[in-house]
Structure 1
Amino acid sequence: MDPKIGKPSRQIKISTGPYVRRRQHRKAQARIKHNDQTELEPGEPARLSPIPASKAVAPYSPRSETEDSHIHITVVTERTLTPVGPRFEWYPLAVRDEAFFHILMASTSSHAAYLQKVELPRNFYFYRGQAIQLLNQRIARGDCDEGTINTIYMSAAITLDSKPILAPTIDVTDLKTYFGLPSSATISHAKTFGTRLYNFTNSPLSNQAAKVMWGLRNISQLSEEIHAGKIRAEPNLAFEAQFTDRVEVLERLVHPLWHVENPGAEQHPVFRTLGWTCLIYIYTVLRELPKELGINPTLAGRIRGTLESCPELNVLLATFQDLLLWEMFICGRVADDRDRPFFASQATKILLIRRVEDANEILKAAEGFIWPERQVQPSSSSNSEDSLSGSESGAMDVGD
């Protein structure tokens, strides 16, 4: 209905023409032909899809299974600090050891097949068979070099039906070893954040959240410096903490924020949404996993449901603007299409309140929760935060 004249509005149909219809028909026939060619005959061994779905982990069009494994190595694992598959430090060693090379290629092929949700390809069995043959020869000779040990380890990891139970080697209470010493800005920001949470919720989890802030800042800074080439990703000594160990400690530190042990006494929504958002940040930014990972939209959906059912949502938006804006942007990037309008609308509310319209300023505001010093803050607000930190930071033990 046209509101101006009170009459039904007309819908205009535009003819696409014979050329467009023929082109659409050819595309449809090509898709049908491709699907027919890619279907396996009964008894034919499985193979990796040469044309993965558009939301595949690493979109590519390999010409062979060997090239597929090579691209999986270079695209998925080479540039990540916490690889989703075999550690990228193994590949230089595998080049120098034939048995380890074959078992590593078998592991990589297996991981690529797992990500694509297909059965193990033929090259997996070829590489594994070659590795076992070489390994048997070395065992008969009594070899115990590094390549042989690595081959045995990875062979066992592939063939195990369940994960082995190993004693934990990470001390999650020794945060200075894994996070590094906090800077004065990190101490001030973490204590201020913890104090604000405690004043709002009166919950002891505020101290836990302050420690999480410490880890978020230090590990994020470390990741930026590694990618910028300022520092090495590998530690100088073998027993020193790896980057993935640091991320693991942070993820365990986040766990009490969102995990509900007693359904009758759930944490305040501000802690649960913070914990879930930290998990998404850890998976997508620090661990550099694909955004299409199924856990990400699931967590974003939980955050939306928790905030929608929270009677204090407007109070949270006004009290913790930086936190909620960060959560909205993190979740909006990975959420399902049906959830994204919610995160966009809440982010818009905060941006309108803060009168932020410029695109660059919006991006900086989205990072303001972790890096407030990277923004231009009014002197009055910064002074008030410093005074709050100095007067009520006794309950926080960040960096102490």
Structure 2
Amino acid sequence: MTQAVVGTQTCWNIWEDRGFLIHPDPVAKLSSSGIDLPLERDMLEHIESIAADLPELLASGRVRDVLDALPVYDMRGLNGESVPFHAVERLMQIYSYFASSFVYATNQPAANRIPAGVAVPLVQLSHLVERPPILSYSGYVLNNWARVDPDGGIVVDNLRLTQKFLGNKDEAWFILIHVDIEARAAAALLGIQAAAAAAVRGDVDGVVNALGQVYGSVQRMMSTFKRMPENCDSNVYYFNVRPYIFGFNEVVYEGVDEYGGTPQSFRGQTGAQSSIVPALVAAFGLEHERTGLMHHLEIMRDYMPKPHREFILHMRQAGIRDFVLSHAENRALTDVYNECLRAVLEFRKLHYHYATVYIFEKVANPIGTGGTVFMDWLGKLIEETEAQYIK
């Protein structure tokens, strides 16, 4: 474990076996977990039963009726040092899934409201986790996995989902490939910290070795990413999986006093909310032109777990690029630095490829789930990365 978090959000520390993934492993059933929470067991069992039934409720068209009837359960008592934060995150996940299920109920027009039984607890929980009240990458990916073999690794072939909209293999594979990528990124996150520390010491060999670790980690991320088509069909993703992770546009959160009935808009779940590439970009000292697209990426930081966005800010001070520039005569150092940039570039190109296959080829208006024309910004980021190799 590195980069320890101060306060209650220790589940979002960076761990050497899982990187940004939640620790301990996600809890599927709080009601039988033995975790001491200031909530009634009957209430936990009620919401967990609905969460488990979401695929059937969505398929049968009953989800809105069930969620409309959900009582307003008070989550404010969860605010305290004694409450395990990963349990709070599970509740945030459940209620954010409820909200997206209600708004984007299968085969029905999108709703412009979220009932109080979902909206009020969701907003309360959003204050506790310090993220917007909508499903984000942290709930969709970072906290949405369980090991099939408890003693096995965090690899896609040994994982299943803890929370679902559909329950089909395409949904599971799409999410769990991302979980695997996050676990493979752990060595890169440790590597950039080691490289930064070695740079402070003036240790050229230490920086070279640490950057070699980063490069190998990104290569393993790529190997996992390339498996996406194995069990996630692009048509199933586009027409069935993707609709549930769109953002909310002018949606009323009923019963939430602080909103006063004013419709709210929030960005949808998107891979741009993963902290891996932003952390690497920050550590390598890469600069990108200030555009509306970069503003979009900065907004995505608000949807990341707070400790992860703080880590990205911390890595901006890493000084790795300046150190490499000051030792530009050392070809081993500049070569491995450039190889790391090239690896990040290749990862972005693969993202570009899948965005094309899974979305762009199927729609005339290529808006990502996060709400931006992603093909333009992916292309621009690729060009700008290529321009920053050290000669």
Q: What TM-score does the superposition give when structure 1 sets the normalisation length? A: 0.24
Largest Rg, 1 or 2: 1
Q: What TM-score does the superposition give when structure 2 sets the normalisation length? A: 0.25
More helix by share: 1
